[in-house]
A and B are shown apart, each in its own frame.
Chain A
Amino acid sequence: GQQLNQSPQSMFIQEGEDVSMNCTSSSIFNTWLWYKQDPGEGPVLLIALYKAGELTSNGRLTAQFGITRKDSFLNISASIPSDVGIYFCAGRRGGSEKLVFGKGTKLTVNP
């Protein structure tokens, strides 16, 4: 099955720095979701986006639904050690419940 192109694959940053990651696709999606997964746990939903151009925040996290509907971005401001984990994007096409996932961005935050 198709997967989204998520980048970067990994990031090593200092505490306090801002983080940006993105997902792109050759196909149009109607919904974009961003998840975080801690080791040994299930993905936890962070932000859901439903409209092209939509910008949504959840605390220090901000995500955007790309205007072309083929991409989405996640920003984390002022990172802290508990931000460590793997971040996944997921997209849903119209008329389907099926989610297509990116392979994840592994974030490491150095104190």
Chain B
Amino acid sequence: EAQVTQNPRYLITVTGKKLTVTCSQNMNHEYMSWYRQDPGLGLRQIYYSMNVEVTDKGDVPEGYKVSRKEKRNFPLILESPSPNQTSLYFCASSSGTADSYEQYFGPGTRLTVT
């Protein structure tokens, strides 16, 4: 089944404790992206990757890091989480071909930083 998976689905952590949220897709997509979703603010892009070893900042990159060492994986790293990073996070991917810019989303990771 074609899908985007994220782990963990739920995470409660404390301020300053480094964490990684994994994202994997099995559709051989080149483009991958991370979003955060907050009430009243909608979906905001954190980082994106056009291909392996190619990443760039989205609209709200502060406090986050990403890496793209393999095509299928795009982990999101919070080196020193803070309470304002409490949010619902989504990973998404798309093929990036001229006739298909459809992004497919993972199930989400709900992060709480205390």
Residues of A within 8 A of B (CB): 1, 3, 31, 33, 35, 40-45, 48, 50, 88, 90, 92, 97-99, 101-104
Contact = CB atoms under 8 A, between A and B. Distances in A.
Interface in B82-97: 90, 94, 96
Nearest to A40: B108
B75 interface: no
A48 B45 contact: no
A43 B105 contact: yes
B106 to A, nearest CB: 5
B11 to A, nearest CB: 14
Contact of A33 (B44, B48, B102, B107): B102
Contacts, number: 56
A44 B2 CA distance: 13
Nearest to B49: A97
Contacts of B42: 3, 88, 101-104
Contacts of A103: 40-42
A92 B105 contact: no
Nearest to A42: B105
Interface in B1-53: 4, 31, 33, 40-45, 48, 50
B103 interface: yes
Nearest to A50: B99
B64 interface: no
B50 A45 contact: no
User: Among the interface residues A40, A41, A99, which one has the most CB atoms of the partner chain B within 10 A?
Assistant: A99
Contacts of B45: 1, 98-99
Contacts of B48: 97-98
A79 B8 CA distance: 34
